[in-house]
């Protein structure tokens, strides 16, 4: 059965060229269920990514009246699944793990916690890894050998305290003001860039190991070494239980068999069944609060519509917040954080190739417009599915404009016969303006508290400033759930006070 087509994303093949729009069950039809424009809602949620879906569902199930506004024609935000010829392609957030508490709760709630598949084909040990680092001879090696080289370099890089980060980041969900580490210590380490740390330890690595490490760090941050924060890597290592042994299993191993969109659909359907109203293809332009905080806020759309609510949850991504006007104005510190934004300008491209020998291949090339490629299963027609990633190459690499550059980048990773490409360019997407948020040195300790704080009756919820699993599905769910909990508490208190006043 053919899925509806979203206006997001691109497909390419040599015969038809680049075509915008991809098939996805994330598309919502009908796109609108608003019953009346004059209603005052308990809450308006701006954005239907995981943060917005969690907030809207939780509030609706707590018997609050909720309106969900979304600029796209679909749910999922920076996470959605494309269906093509019987195969599922994850365009953004992909992997799941039982170590992500908020995500695991949702998977369990909707019966998807055991319905998993693993990345790649079975028996990956039968495959091989290729490494191509400038200044060295390209070569083929086993997955085990490549993994050991990466682990050696990563462990050396993050082990700044001799305890693999345990004394600096023992509680990655409470990086600041926790019971173990004083804030001044965290702030000191937060000032260090990945480039500075690399310069300290590179003499202990071979040229290949150096290339593996730098490309891995840029693969993670989506930026540049000078603008990538060492603390972000320390935090990430802490989330791996302070051991690189867990790197693959936690970050890259498990996927939902039915795709991320299926989980998002179940959350959305649950919210609708609980009374949620919604409007898709509805971009928000401004959020205005009355000077009297007990009066409803007004959310205006680009099309000129106005909706009112007692509370607002804004899940607009960090790099897009500058496009929304707030009245009264946001704090100077939050405005500064928004102006700086995050650094992740990653590339992610799916390729279908006519190369059966690449079914169990992984490989890297550095430098390169695409630095990593992973074999990820066999398509129903027998072709091999690959996923490739690159960091910030915006000045020279815009795949929807020059798709043959993407083909060339793939072929530089490994000789292959590329049949088609499927991708979403998050860097040029006006509603994301980048991938998941990775931060500059010093950004976390200066801005995280402010980004997480409320602005009057406006609550900000996004994976882009989550406590632990920032830049992940779990972080989005965390922020949406926390906002809903706070709003529910306040709304119920207000309603109890009004009820007592009527007695």
Task: Compute the distance between CA of residue 270 and CA of residue 40 in angstroms, rounded to an integer.
Answer: 22
3-state secondary structure labels for all residues of 79-147: CCEEEECCEEEECCCCCECCCCHHHHHHHHHCCCCCCEEECCCCCHHHCEEEEEECCCCCEEECHHHHH
The two tokens of residue 114 are 């055991």
Q: Minimal CA–CA distance to 67: which of 96, 38, 42?
A: 42
398: annotated binding-site residue? no
Q: Per-residue DSSP letters for 329-363?
A: PPPHHHHHHHHH------EEEEEEES-GGGTTEEE
Task: Compute the distance between CA of residue 276 and CA of residue 308 in angstroms, rounded to an integer.
Answer: 15
Do 301 and 33 contact (CB within 8 A), yes or no? no
Q: How many CB atoms lie within 10 A of CB 90?
A: 20
287: annotated binding-site residue? no
Task: Compute the distance between CA of residue 431 and CA of residue 416 in angstroms, rounded to an integer.
Answer: 33
284: annotated binding-site residue? yes
Task: Compute the distance between CA of residue 236 and CA of residue 168 in angstroms, rounded to an integer.
Answer: 12
Q: Per-residue DSSP letters for 50-74?
A: HHHHHHHHHHHHTT--EEEE-SSSB
Count CA atoms closer than 13 A to 238's CA, side-chain side: 23
431: annotated binding-site residue? no
Do 434 and 427 contact (CB within 8 A), yes or no? yes
Task: Compute the distance between CA of residue 465 and CA of residue 315 in angstroms, rounded to an integer.
Answer: 11
- DSSP three-state, residue 374: strand
* Annotated binding-site positions for FAD: 70-71, 284
Residues annotated within a binding site: 70-71, 284, 389
Annotated binding site for substrate: 389
């Amino acid at each position: 059965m053919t899925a509806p087509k979203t206006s997001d994303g691109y497909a390419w093949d040599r015969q038809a060229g680049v075509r915008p729009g991809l098939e996805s069950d994330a598309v919502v039809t009908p796109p609108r269920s608003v019953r009346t424009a004059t209603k005052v809602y308990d809450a308006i949620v701006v954005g239907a990514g995981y943060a917005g879906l969690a907030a809207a569902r939780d509030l609706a199930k707590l018997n609050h009246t909720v309106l969900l506004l979304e600029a796209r024609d679909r749910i999922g935000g920076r996470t959605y699944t494309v269906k093509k010829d019987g195969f599922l392609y994850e365009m953004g957030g992909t992997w799941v793990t039982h170590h992500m508490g908020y995500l695991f709760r949702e998977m369990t709630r909707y019966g998807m916690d055991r319905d998993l598949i693993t990345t790649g084909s079975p028996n990956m040990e039968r495959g091989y890894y290729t490494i191509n680092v400038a200044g060295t001879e390209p070569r083929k090696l086993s997955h085990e050998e490549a993994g050991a080289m990466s682990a050696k370099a990563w462990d050396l890089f993050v082990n700044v305290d001799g305890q693999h980060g345990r004394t600096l980041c023992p509680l990655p969900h409470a990086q600041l003001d926790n019971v173990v580490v004083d804030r001044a210590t965290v702030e000191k380490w937060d000032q260090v860039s990945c480039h500075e740390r690399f310069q300290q330890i590179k003499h202990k690595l071979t040229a290949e190991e150096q290339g593996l490490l730098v490309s891995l760090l840029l693969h993670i941050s989506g930026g540049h070494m000078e603008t990538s924060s060492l603390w972000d890597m320390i935090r990430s290592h802490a989330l791996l239980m302070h051991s690189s042994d867990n790197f693959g299993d936690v970050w890259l191993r498990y996927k939902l068999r039915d795709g991320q969109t299926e989980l998002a659909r179940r959350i959305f359907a649950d919210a609708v069944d609980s009374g949620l109203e919604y409007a898709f293809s509805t971009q928000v332009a401004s959020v205005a609060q009355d000077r009297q905080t007990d009066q409803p806020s007004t959310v205006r759309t680009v099309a000129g519509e106005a909706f009112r609510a007692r509370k607002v949850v804004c899940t607009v991504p960090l790099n897009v917040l500058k496009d929304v006007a707030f009245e009264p104005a946001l704090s100077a510190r939050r405005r500064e954080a928004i102006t700086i934004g995050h650094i992740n300008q990653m590339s992610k491209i799916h390729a279908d190739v006519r190369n059966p020998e690449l079914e169990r291949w992984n490989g890297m090339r550095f430098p390169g417009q695409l630095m990593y490629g992973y074999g990820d299963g066999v398509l129903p027609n027998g072709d091999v599915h690959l996923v490739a990633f690159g960091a910030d190459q915006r000045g020279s690499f815009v795949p929807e404009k020059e798709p043959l550059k993407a083909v060339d980048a793939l072929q530089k990773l490994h000789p292959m016969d590329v049949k088609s490409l499927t991708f979403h360019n998050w860097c040029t997407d006006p509603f994301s303006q980048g991938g998941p948020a990775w931060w500059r040195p010093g950004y976390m300790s200066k801005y995280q508290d402010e980004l997480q704080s409320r602005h009057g009756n406006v609550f900000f919820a996004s994976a882009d400033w989550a406590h632990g699993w920032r830049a992940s599905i779990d972080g989005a769910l965390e922020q949406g759930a926390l906002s809903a909990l706070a709003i529910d508490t306040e709304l119920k208190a207000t309603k109890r006070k009004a009820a007592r006043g009527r007695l």
